[in-house]
Amino acid sequence: MPELPEVEVVTRSLKKTVKNRKIIKIIVNNRNLRFKLQKNFKQILKNKIVKDIKRKSKYIIFDFGNHFYTILHLGMSGTLHIPSKKKVTNLSFYNNPNMPKKHNHVIIFFDKINLVYNDPRRFGYFKVIKNKHDFDNYFTRIGPEALDKEFNLKYLKNKIKYRKKNIKNFLLDQKIVSGIGNIYANEILYKSQISPMRSVGKLSSTELYKIIKFSRTTLKEAIKFGGSSIKDFKSVSGGGGNFQTKFNVYNRENQRCTKSKCKGIIKKSYISNRSTFICNLCQI
């Protein structure tokens, strides 16, 4: 599933390609996404001009102006493509240089280019919102992003009161902090030198501060390197990513800890059915 950096990369690519373009028509091949696409989806968006492309947490927002929006969530496997003669179409986080032949559920035709939404698992969805109240209300279900100023020590202390949840599940709870997924939770806790199994209620202010600091620096670094699978968000071509080469623990089972003075080994376990990687010496 794409996390905040990957969605930010896709958003930047979209901003370079579809901003200020008019939707000429839409073809819907399959309405049965995570939430069934409304019957008049094609008619509602026809002739609309994309005034801006924004991101909120893991959501991509097509802003048509006058408080009219379409929200896109990529789900587990959703990707966006712009077909071209070069056949390098992927805007998303998976490296696929060819146009997929199956699961192209929605095709949006702009002047001169087409945007294709592909989703094998169909956990992604589109939602049309027509006023500011509904738009603002839609995002009350999620907490602040780790990059937001609201994600601070005071906020965390208030959220951990009387909680016994482990810190990893705490970071993955989108109602508490939005945008962090499994990969980055592993990396953040490694850099903070905190075991993912620690109870949040037992973390000190110093440890909470480390989590805030490394949440921000890790996400910013991931965006800088194009996410965990995208090489260059300045290009609409997609491609292989760079941030996975920066992983300290994720997918490094049985390898040495990357800290020069640590002789620990990265061990793999599972927390709530999610793969969890931890240095057996420096994460306590």
Catalytic site positions: 2-3, 58, 274
Angle among Cα 33, 34, 39 to the nearest 5 degrees reads 50
CA separation, residue 46 to residues 18, 26, 37, 140, 169 (Å): 14, 7, 15, 29, 41
Q: How far apart are CA 226 and CA 238, in angstroms?
A: 10
Tokens representing 102? 């199956």
- The runs of H, that is alpha helices, within the chain are 4-17, 41-45, 132-138, 153-160, 167-172, 182-192, 205-224
- Number of helices (H) and strands (E) in the chain: give both, helices first: 7, 10
Tokens representing 31? 């309405």
Neighbours of 205 (CB within 10 A): 10
Amino acid at 84: S
Q: How far apart are CA 134 and CA 13, in angstroms?
A: 27
Cβ neighbours for 185, distance < 8 A, ≥ 6 positions apart: 168, 171, 172, 196
Q: How far apart are CA 224 and CA 243, in angstroms?
A: 8
Residue 153 phi/psi, 5-degree rounding, is -60, -45
Strand partners, 63: 52, 69
